[in-house]
Amino acid sequence: MPCLNQGLTKASTFLCAFLAISACHAQDLINRENQLKAVYLMHFAELTRWPSHQQSNPEFTLCLLGHPPVLKFLKELSQKTIGTRRLTLASQQSISSTSSCQIIYFYNNQDLSQKFLSQFSETLLVGNHQEFITKGGHISFQVIDNKIKLLINLPKIRNANMDISSKLLRIANVIE
Amino acid sequence: MFKYNLSIKNKLILVFAFTMLISLLLAGSIFFIQDVYSTKKSIIERISIQSKIISSNTAVAVYFNDVEALKELLESLQADKEIVTAEIIKNNSIIAHYTRPSQESMGFKWVLQLVMEPTKEVFQPIIYRGQTIAQLKTVTDFPTLHNHVFNHFLVSSIVLFSSFLIGFGIASSLQKIFLNPIQHLLKATKKIAKDKKYDIRVTKISNDELGVLADHFNLMLEQIHKRDKNLEAEVAKRTEDLVTLNNTLNFRANHDILTHLANRELFNDHLNQTIAQAERSKTKFAVIFIDLDQFKLINDTMGHDFGDRILCHVATKLSACVRKEDTLARMGGDEFTVLLPIIKDAANATSFAQKILESFTFPIVEQQAEFHIKPSIGISLYPEDGRQADILQKNADTAMYAAKTEGGNCYRFFSSQMSEKVHKRLTLEGELHNAIKNNELLLHYQPQLLQDGSFAAFEALIRWHHPQKGMIAPYEFIPVAEETGQINHIGDWVIEEVCRQLSEWRALGYELAPVHINISPAQIKPGLAEHIHQTVASYQLSPDLIGCEITENAFAKNLDKLKSFLQQLHTHGFPLAVDDFGTGYSSLSYLKAFPITCLKIDRSFIMDISASKEDASLVKGIINLAHSLKLSVVAEGVESHQHLDFLTAHGCQMIQGYYYSRPLPANKACHWLKMRQQSSNSA
């Protein structure tokens, strides 16, 4: 029994070690994904042509709905400017408080009601699933084969008086 | 003109440098054009690649009409200065456009425009998802090429100029290889031309064609040198010959060729110098004129060559008599002059004349025969007889004539009276010349009769009817005619006139009788006998009608010539008589040797025949001699009956003289003859 226990101990130790290593690897992948998403979000701000009236606003506000993991990386990038505009990160708990945002990142695939869409008609809506596009979102991150792909709903964006730079469109799947 | 004035050195340098320059220019131009086209091609290729990249990069932006992105992409072309404009044309509309900011061109556009189009458009399709959705048009104006060309031109110019300088330097150095031998040749040629020395030789520097040229040049110099030396020798020889010839000519100009004595010119020169000297020093001098007596006779009888040899002997004799300071000259013929430049008085001249006369006492021997040549000497003194050269000579000549007229072989000093006599003689000489031309001569005919008083012949006697002086006797002018040679003309005239007269008498119907003519020894020369014969024949007269009388003196000299002449006359049938027999030559052998038919006793014997027994004996002897030789005899100068009786008594066949008739003019002779014929017919 003691041998069994020893064996079990060794096994449990190896398992614990294996689980610990696997857990560490999974965490790295998640961090990498969020890091990339953070960079994309910053580039969305740069590669989107915003309605002209927004150009006079000295601040560019990127809103994060909830507390998404990208926040940590976005904070690292918060010192950047979008053109001449200063980047401001806003982590909001509810949609109602995102009225001044230029980009809203929906981390948890919140529903996009018609009311919301009409309220934020000139705001770039970014989500994490393909359904987000079908629900009226503008850009969605998709993880395919451990690679982040973009799905862009270009008509919706253009309907919202915005446009996406072809630099971004080149690497994205575009819904025309 | 430029190319002719340049030296070979500069020509070589220029040829070398310009050849290199042209080669470099040609090569540079080819490289330049090739470089321009290759650069242009690479620019176009680069633009094409860039257009492809741009078109690829802009495909999405075009598709999504991302004009901003397009502009941004096109703006990236600023990095490429070749592209002046870029346009994206979609559905025939330009949706994006780029224009390069203006930039300074190097100003070589116009050069390039000569060889290529100024701009180039490149079209590149923009393809998205397999479909051409637009066109990218890029235009280039090749600014880099302009700069490239400019730089190329700059570098080429520097290289070209440097190469030209290097080539010039190399050519300057290399030309020495070619020119050094030529310079040597040139230097040698200049030295030869300057110094005229053909013994200089050119140093052979190389073994090429110039070396061969130097060898041939040296060979040519050698030949010229030899020829020059030969020429110099020839010139020296000719110069020597010319000097000799000049000396000879000078000698001949101043000396007599025959005797080598001074001639008239040199004598006159010395005489003038002596006159000048005498005028200054108030001294005397004498001019002596020497003429040889009867020398003409030697010339006429012995021939001129012989006479010349005698003259040489005479010159030798005279040379022996003169002093060093005296001038002895031959003036021509047998005339000599002597200038005695320093005398105290006439006695010095007398001594000299006597010395000459003494030297001539010895005969001259020529061809083993002795000749007694005698001189007649005339002397004129300065200043008494003249102060001028011609007067002194004339007066010496006059004095010489005086000596000669007084018998010769003597000397006479000039006196003013002599001058008058000589003048007369010279006048006579001139008038005689005119007399022949003016027909002033005429013939008188004196009959010769036989012992019985019958007419036998006429002797034609010449007379000169002078228009002013009246009748002049032959003894006055015949000697002058003989001395001057006019006797030949007179002799010819006489035979012609006698023939003409006989012909006339024959025409008048008279019975012709022989006419005797006198022939002077001075006339006798080859051809005279033939001339007489032809003249007689031309009048169709018989030769026996013309009797030829030769004076006895003629037999004293040149007997061969006389014999030949008489023989010819005899052959033709002319009767021959010896005139003045007894007065001349003493030898009687010629009477046998010559074809003589008659002797004429000189009047000098007949005149005193009554008073002088010697003359009577002589005449008798002559008659007897003629008889013994079977010759007829004619007595001249019969003027009285006593003369006639004596001659008749001693057998003289023919009588001639005033007793019967004086010499008659032709018409009177004709009349006389007519009367004689009539009287004989009546008797």
**Residues of B with CB below 8 A from A165's CB?**
61, 66, 68-69
* Interface of chain B toward chain A, CB-CB under 8 angstroms: 60-61, 63-64, 66, 68-69
- Taking only the tens place, the pLDDT of each residue in A2-16 is 444 454 455 455 554
In this prediction, residue B105 has a pLDDT band, given cuts at 50, 70 and 90, of: low
Query: Residue B497 is encoded by which pair of tokens?
Result: 């006139």
3-state secondary structure of B303: coil
Q: Does A170 touch chain B (CB under 8 A)?
A: yes
pLDDT at B448: 92
Q: Does residue B679 carry a pLDDT above 90?
A: no
Q: B130 vs B179, which has greater pLDDT?
A: B130
Question: Is the CA virtual torsion B576, B579, B582, B583 positive or negative?
Answer: negative
Q: What is d(CA A66, CA A106) in angstroms, rounded to the nearest whole number?
A: 8
- Taking only the tens place, the pLDDT of each residue in B220-266 is 888 888 888 888 888 888 888 888 888 888 888 889 989 999 999 89
Backbone torsions φ then ψ of B635, nearest 5 degrees = -100, 125
Q: Does residue A109 carry a pLDDT above 50?
A: yes
pLDDT at B1: 46
Over range B519-529, report the average pLDDT: 89
In B, minimum Cα distance to A176 occurs at: B64
Contact B654, B448 (CB under 8 A): yes
**Residues of A with CB below 8 A from B61's CB?**
165-167
Over range B22-32, report the average pLDDT: 83
**Residues of B with CB below 8 A from A46's CB?**
none
pLDDT at B41: 87
Q: Which of A46, A166, A169 to mutate to test the interface with B (most CBs of B within 10 A)?
A: A166
Please spell the DSSP secondary structure of B58-108, one letter per residue: HHHHHHTT-HHHHHHHHHGGGG-TTEEEEEEEETTEEEEEEEPPP----S-
B60:A169 CB<8 A:
yes
3-state secondary structure of B443: strand
Question: Is the CA virtual torsion B232, B233, B234, B239 positive or negative?
Answer: positive
Ranked by mean pLDDT, the top range of A46-50, A172-176, B62-66, B572-576 is B572-576
Q: Which of residues 31-50 of A touch B (CB under 8 A)?
A: 49
Q: How far apart are the CA of B63 and the nearest CA of chain A, in angstroms?
A: 9
- Taking only the tens place, the pLDDT of each residue in B253-289 is 889 989 999 999 899 999 999 999 999 999 999 999 9
Domains and CATH numbers, chain A: 3-175 (3.40.50)
Chains A & B: contacts with CB separation below 8 Å: 22
Identify the weakest region by mean pLDDT among B28-32, B123-127, B340-344. Answer: B28-32
Q: Which of B53, B54, B60 to mutate to test the interface with A (most CBs of A within 10 A)?
A: B60
User: For the purposes of burial, counting CB atoms within 10 Å of the CB of B467, is it exposed (0-12), middle (13-18) or buried (19 or more)?
Assistant: exposed
- Taking only the tens place, the pLDDT of each residue in A142-168 is 888 888 899 999 998 988 888 888 888
Q: Does residue A50 carry a pLDDT above 60?
A: yes
In this prediction, residue B293 has a pLDDT band, given cuts at 50, 70 and 90, of: confident
Instruction: Identify the DSSP state of B512.
Output: P
Identify the weakest region by mean pLDDT among A9-18, A119-128, B16-25, B525-534. Answer: A9-18
In B, minimum Cα distance to A171 occurs at: B60
Question: Is the CA virtual torsion B378, B382, B383, B389 positive or negative?
Answer: positive
pLDDT at B279: 92
Q: Does A55 touch chain B (CB under 8 A)?
A: no
pLDDT at B430: 85
Backbone torsions φ then ψ of B669, nearest 5 degrees = -60, -40
- Taking only the tens place, the pLDDT of each residue in B36-74 is 888 888 888 988 988 898 888 888 888 888 888 888 888
Question: Is the CA virtual torsion A48, A54, A57, A61 positive or negative?
Answer: negative
pLDDT at A1: 39
